[in-house]
A and B are shown apart, each in its own frame.
Chain A
Amino acid sequence: MAAISREEVAHLARLARIEMTDAELDHLASEMDLILESVSRVQGVAGADIPPTSHAIAMQNVMRPDVVVPSLTPEEALSGAPAREEDRFKVPQILGEE
């Protein structure tokens, strides 16, 4: 039984970089509860010996040779940019430092 609190949803919204209103958070928390209860059915169904499937059609070693191919022009690359300065993407001040 999964009970997800509003604080947890707020934390998730932060992780997902979505600024939600209080009303949205409340609404989502109750929806999450219902959905999680329903999807929790997957737990314990498959034993420890069952491997997970991340690729339905199994393949391996898919690679390409180390060859240069033409890039987009800066115009094309920047064509969707909400803001630009010459040939660079312009973004607002970044707070966190990596």
Chain B
Amino acid sequence: MSEQIIHQTAAQMSADLASGSVTAVELANAHFDRIAAVDGDVHAFLHIDREGALAQASAVDASRKAGEKVHPLAGVPLALKDVLTQKGVPTTCGSKMLEGWRPPYDSTVVTNLKKAGVVILGKTNMDEFAMGSSTENSAYGPTHNPWDLSRIPGGSGGGSSAALAAFEAPLAIGTDTGGSIRQPAAVTGTVGVKPTYGAVSRYGLVAFSSSLDQAGPCARTVLDTAMLHEVIAGYDPKDSTSINAPVGKMVEAAKKLDIKGMKIGVVKELSGDGYQAGVLTRFNEALEALVAAGAEIVEVSTPSFEYALAAYYLIAPSETSSNLARFDSMRYGIRIGDDGSRSAEEVMNMTREVGFGKEVKRRIILGTYALSSGYYDAYYGSAQKVRTLIKRDYEAAFAKVDVLVSPTCPTTAFKIGEKSDDPLAMYLNDVATIPINLAGIGGMSLPCGLAPEDGLPVGFQIMSPALKDELMYQVGGTLEAALQSKWGKPLYASAPELAVK
């Protein structure tokens, strides 16, 4: 039973729980067994909260037994990216700086998950402080792509996506600042959504780049992702940037399976040179499927996108240089060098040298430079202006089409170690995902096939206008159904079997 159940979708598990054919505790244990069997190789998890998860599962089972009304996702297991605070549970953000830190408060995302009765199995691995595209920047060792353990699972949220692809959890939460949900989803053959900026509360989301960060739902199917989206999204008065409007009907949109008459824009600038041939092949096949489903494809040009990467790699490091200043060993986190002979300043300097990894330090220095007096206008200031141009390009595009599409990233999963010494090459992974964050609009990645040359998953990206996230689910759900019908089964069912310990 164990084997089968973990391969199900969250929607199927929800139905089984509702019918009583499985209990939440059984479901949790089945996943803990799976984690024990494969996570030694995958390394998706940094921390397993067996006690907390089983307590939550028991509570849900008791509620159901008592005939109380529970949320559809109550009792369904979930993996939580280690960048969101969970009270009393270690939260490291993939960094040595926060080794052992147990937050005294829950993030709003966690509060919402707990309210729905979702069972949080544990915290997943990530690039340190969400900076990276491969999870190789984790201070706790990389995560391995379940499709090929010698390859990266994407980043920064590689742990969450790998957990899904390895069937260690049916649901996961990621965060996305420049593609950190979508790119891992693409290279692991799973689904990931970055909602409109402000749709999901950032309270308790350890900040990387405040004006770009957004937590989002991840799963193996579009419908599962939609269900999770509705749980975590919503207005939060504790987050000033939170959108004060009702959450849209994502599940309804995901189930619509109808895109007749919709106009779909292909972004000219997010294709061509630099994109792996197999990625483009599968992307174009997906376009054909959309046409067959009754949509109209339109080519759209967004000229400012050429500068998006540059703008992002000025804005994000600038904000992060400020956001990470609080890690000074005075109030929490590790403290290095305090032997009684050193000053606070010296201890701060030593701790930050040891506590932060290379990529984090690189971005802090870059950000400090971009904000410094004399350079602000040339760098940060200019980047914020480019952001305006990108926003305007999107507005102009969305005046012509309902959604935009592109490949999620230029390549399939590369080998661990292949790009880790070349920051600029690493940054190029985000070229198609970054513009979405700069404009604050919604973005989804879902699988559109395996690249012929390497048999690795390819991701298809859908972009929706701000506050219209349901359009992603409508198009994504339809595309997924069309492709699965073509393949005869969901893509994740083709994942190679992992060796079981």
| Residue in chain A with minimal CB distance to B354 | A19
- A79 and B104: CB pair below 8 A? yes
- B440 and A57: CB pair below 8 A? yes
Q: Given contacts A46-B382, A46-B386, is CB(A35)–CB(B104) below 8 Å?
A: no
B332 CB-CB contact with A under 8 Å? yes
Query: Which of B198, B362, B383 makes the CB contact (< 8 A) with A31?
Result: B362
User: How far, in angstroms, from A45 to B197 measured CA to CA in the complex?
Assistant: 25
Name A61-79 residues within 8 Å CB distance of B: 62, 64, 72, 76-77, 79
B466 CB-CB contact with A under 8 Å? yes
Min CB gap B243→A, angstroms: 7
A94 CB-CB contact with B under 8 Å? yes
User: How far, in angstroms, from A41 to B311 measured CA to CA in the complex?
Assistant: 8
List 11 contacting pairs A-B, 8 Å CB cutoff, sorted by A.
Answer: A17-B325, A19-B353, A35-B423, A35-B424, A42-B382, A51-B388, A53-B384, A53-B385, A56-B440, A62-B240, A92-B347
| Residue in chain A with minimal CB distance to B386 | A42
> Which of A24, A38, A43, A76 has the most C-beta atoms of chain B within 10 angstroms of its own C-beta?
A43
- A39 and B314: CB pair below 8 A? yes
> Which of A8, A41, A76 has the most C-beta atoms of chain B within 10 angstroms of its own C-beta?
A41
Residues of A within 8 A of B338 (CB): 82-83, 92
B350 CB-CB contact with A under 8 Å? yes
Q: Given contacts A42-B314, A45-B386, A46-B388, is CB(A18)–CB(B334) below 8 Å?
A: no
Query: Which of B332, B352, B391, B441 makes the CB contact (< 8 A) with A18?
Result: B352
User: How far, in angstroms, from A94 to B331 measured CA to CA in the complex?
Assistant: 14
Query: Which of B364, B372, B382 makes the CB contact (< 8 A) with A45?
Result: B382
Majority secondary structure, A binding face: loop
Min CB gap B241→A, angstroms: 7
- A39 and B313: CB pair below 8 A? yes
Residues of A within 8 A of B366 (CB): 32, 35-36
| Residue in chain B with minimal CB distance to A79 | B104
User: How far, in angstroms, from A80 to B361 measured CA to CA in the complex?
Assistant: 23
Contact bitstring A14-58, B, C-beta under 8 A = 1, else 0: 011111100010001001101110111111111000111111110
User: How far, in angstroms, from A62 to B240 measured CA to CA in the complex?
Assistant: 6
Residues of B within 8 A of A83 (CB): 335, 338
Min CB gap A34→B, angstroms: 6
| Residue in chain B with minimal CB distance to A9 | B365
B344 CB-CB contact with A under 8 Å? yes
Residues of B within 8 A of A62 (CB): 240-241
Name B412-445 residues within 8 Å CB distance of A: 423-424, 438-441
- A20 and B353: CB pair below 8 A? yes
Name B204-256 residues within 8 Å CB distance of A: 211, 237, 240-241, 243
- B334 and A80: CB pair below 8 A? no
Min CB gap A56→B, angstroms: 3
Contact bitstring A80-98, B, C-beta under 8 A = 1, else 0: 1111000001011111100
10 further A-B pairs in the complex, CB-CB below 8 A; given A45-B307, A57-B440, A82-B330: A16-B352, A17-B349, A18-B353, A39-B383, A42-B385, A46-B382, A50-B388, A55-B211, A80-B102, A80-B333
A3 CB-CB contact with B under 8 Å? no
A59 CB-CB contact with B under 8 Å? yes
B196 CB-CB contact with A under 8 Å? yes
B345 CB-CB contact with A under 8 Å? yes
Residues of A within 8 A of B241 (CB): 55, 57, 59, 62
User: How far, in angstroms, from A4 to B387 measured CA to CA in the complex?
Assistant: 25
User: How far, in angstroms, from A72 to B424 measured CA to CA in the complex?
Assistant: 43
- A82 and B334: CB pair below 8 A? yes
B101 CB-CB contact with A under 8 Å? yes
Residues of B within 8 A of A15 (CB): 368, 372
B389 CB-CB contact with A under 8 Å? yes
B56 CB-CB contact with A under 8 Å? no
Residues of B within 8 A of A9 (CB): 365
> Which of A4, A15, A45, A83 has the most C-beta atoms of chain B within 10 angstroms of its own C-beta?
A45
> Which of A31, A44, A62, A91 has the most C-beta atoms of chain B within 10 angstroms of its own C-beta?
A91
B381 CB-CB contact with A under 8 Å? yes
Q: Given contacts A16-B321, A18-B349, is CB(A56)–CB(B391) below 8 Å?
A: yes
User: How far, in angstroms, from A16 to B441 measured CA to CA in the complex?
Assistant: 32
Contact bitstring B314-332, A, C-beta under 8 A = 1, else 0: 1000000100010011111
Q: Given contacts A16-B352, A18-B353, A18-B356, is CB(A56)–CB(B331) below 8 Å?
A: no
| Residue in chain B with minimal CB distance to A52 | B384
| Residue in chain A with minimal CB distance to B88 | A79
- B372 and A12: CB pair below 8 A? yes
B369 CB-CB contact with A under 8 Å? yes
Residues of B within 8 A of A64 (CB): 237
Name B100-116 residues within 8 Å CB distance of A: 101-105
